Amino acid sequence: MRNYFSGIVGNQKLTERLSMDIEENKIPHALIIEGDTGSGRHTVVKYFAAALSCERRNGSEALPCRKCPSCEKIFGEKSPDIIKIGLEGEKTSIGVDAVRFMKTDIFVEPNDLKYKFYIIEDAEKMTVQAQNAFLLSLEEPPPYVVFILICNNSSLLLETVRSRALTVRTERLSPQIMRDYLLTESKEAKSLFQTSGDEFEELLLSCDGSIGRALMLLNSKERKKLFSDRDIASKIISLAADRDLKKAFDILSALGQKRQEICQRLLLVQTAVRDLIVLKKCEKPELCFYTDTEKAGEISTHFTLSSLFDIYGAAAEAVDCLEKNANVRLTLLNMFIASKLL
Ligand SMILES: [Zn+2]
C-alpha cells in the first residue's frame, strides 16, 4: 500500500488508515482529527487534501507530489477550495452563523481542486446549536465536499456529529523519534545539540512528544522562558529538602502573579515530583523532568514517598484553585504550607 503521508513523522496508525481509504477510494466526507495542539493535525490535513487533489495521482511517483499546481496551492495555503472556519476575534465559541455560511457555500462547486475542504478549527468549541445546524450539512453533503474537524477532545462533540465522521488521532512522539526528526530536519536543533547538549535534552523532555512545541522551543526567547520556569520548579523542590524561610518567600514572589504562568510552573513542579516518586519505585525509570538520572536519584534521597505525595497533591490542588479563579496569594500560601515548604 502506498503511503500518502511521507512528511508525517510517527503516527503510523493514522497514516495507514487514511492511506488505505485513499487507496480504496473510500473518501470519508467528514473527518475528525483529534490531538494535542502542535501534534501535527494541520500537516495531516495538508497531506490528506493533497493526496486527494494531486494532479499526478496516476503516475508512479510518491504522492502527493508537492510540485503540481494543486499540491503547491495546498501546501502554500493558497487554495480557495480549502475554507477555514474557527473562533473569530475574542469569541470563545463557534456559533450558528459560521455554520450557516457553510450550509449555503457547500453548493458552490470547487474552484480548481477536485474536492472542497471545510476545515473547522477548535471544532469542540462549536455551540450545541451550531453543531445541530451543522448536522444538516453533514448528513448529505455534495459529493465533492469534505469536512475536517480539528479538535483536542472529540468527546466534547455531540454524538450525532461524531457518528457521522471518521475519527483519527495524532499521537505523541517518543523522545527517540523526536530526537531523530529534529536532528535531521532542523538546523536550529542541530546547532543547539552541538553547542549545548544539556539544553537540547531539556527541550526534548519539555516538548511532550509534540513537534510543534519543539519547534516553538527552538526559538531562544521561548526557550529562555521555559528554562526560567524549570529553574523555579527546581528551586521549589530544593526548598522542600532544606526548608529556608527567606528562600521560600523569594520563590513565592518568583512564581509571579499571572494565573496561567503560575499554573505552568506548578505543572513543572508536579512533573519533577513525579520523577522523584518514580525514582523511588523503579530501577530504570523514564524521566520527564530531570535530564540527569543520577543527580535526580540523589535529590530523591532527601524525601520520603509520603512527603513527595504531599507536594504533588498540594501543587495539583493549587492549579485546580487557580483555574477556578481563587485568590492567587492565598492559594500559593496554602500550597506552601500544605507541602511543608513554610
Ligand atoms: Zn501533486
Q: Do 229 and 155 share a domain, yes or no?
A: no
Q: Do 124 and 30 share a domain, yes or no?
A: yes
pLDDT given for residue 60 in this prediction = 64
29 CA distance to ligand 1 centroid (A)? 21
185 CA distance to ligand 1 centroid (A)? 22
Is there a contact between 13 and 44 (Cβ–Cβ < 8 Å)? Answer: no
Q: Do 33 and 109 share a domain, yes or no?
A: yes
When pLDDT is averaged across residues 59-76 and rounded to a whole number, the result is 88
4 CA distance to ligand 1 centroid (A)? 11
Q: How confident is the model at residue 58 (pLDDT cuts 50, 70, 90)?
A: confident
75 CA distance to ligand 1 centroid (A)? 10
* Domain membership flag for residue 7: no
Is there a contact between 290 and 204 (Cβ–Cβ < 8 Å)? Answer: no
When pLDDT is averaged across residues 293-300 and rounded to a whole number, the result is 94
184 CA distance to ligand 1 centroid (A)? 24
pLDDT given for residue 304 in this prediction = 94
Q: Do 20 and 158 share a domain, yes or no?
A: yes
> How many Å apart are CA 192 and CA 226, to the nearest integer?
15
Look at residue 17 and tell me whether its pLDDT is greater than 70. yes
53 CA distance to ligand 1 centroid (A)? 7
Q: Do 257 and 179 share a domain, yes or no?
A: no
The whole domain housing 181 covers 174-218
238 CA distance to ligand 1 centroid (A)? 56
31 CA distance to ligand 1 centroid (A)? 21
Q: How far apart are the first and last CA of the chain?
A: 62
72 CA distance to ligand 1 centroid (A)? 7
Look at residue 240 and tell me whether its pLDDT is greater than 90. no
271 CA distance to ligand 1 centroid (A)? 44
Q: Do 188 and 235 share a domain, yes or no?
A: no
Look at residue 38 and tell me whether its pLDDT is greater than 90. no
Of all residues in the chain, the percent with pLDDT exceeding 70 is 99
67 CA distance to ligand 1 centroid (A)? 5
| Count: domains in the chain | 3
115 CA distance to ligand 1 centroid (A)? 14
47 CA distance to ligand 1 centroid (A)? 10
Of residues 45, 69, 43, the one with CA closest to residue 55 = 69
* Residue 16 belongs to domain with CATH number: 3.40.50.300
Q: Do 22 and 111 share a domain, yes or no?
A: yes
When pLDDT is averaged across residues 171-198 and rounded to a whole number, the result is 92
178 CA distance to ligand 1 centroid (A)? 27
107 CA distance to ligand 1 centroid (A)? 25
Q: Do 124 and 237 share a domain, yes or no?
A: no
Q: How confident is the model at residue 163 (pLDDT cuts 50, 70, 90)?
A: very high
Over the stretch 93-148, which tens digit does the pLDDT of each residue have?
999 998 999 989 999 999 999 999 999 999 999 999 999 999 989 988 999 999 99
Is there a contact between 214 and 204 (Cβ–Cβ < 8 Å)? Answer: yes
Look at residue 269 and tell me whether its pLDDT is greater than 80. yes
Instruction: Give the sheet arrangement for strand 116-120, strand by strand.
Output: 82-85, 116-120, 145-151, 30-34, 166-169
Average pLDDT, the chain: 93
73 CA distance to ligand 1 centroid (A)? 10
pLDDT given for residue 220 in this prediction = 92
Look at residue 184 and tell me whether its pLDDT is greater than 80. yes
* Domain membership flag for residue 333: yes
* Residue 303 belongs to domain with CATH number: 1.20.272
* Domain membership flag for residue 5: no
Q: Do 160 and 183 share a domain, yes or no?
A: no
When pLDDT is averaged across residues 259-284 and rounded to a whole number, the result is 94
Q: Do 164 and 241 share a domain, yes or no?
A: no
Is there a contact between 107 and 142 (Cβ–Cβ < 8 Å)? Answer: yes
Is there a contact between 154 and 125 (Cβ–Cβ < 8 Å)? Answer: no
Look at residue 63 and tell me whether its pLDDT is greater than 90. no
61 CA distance to ligand 1 centroid (A)? 10
Look at residue 7 and tell me whether its pLDDT is greater than 90. no
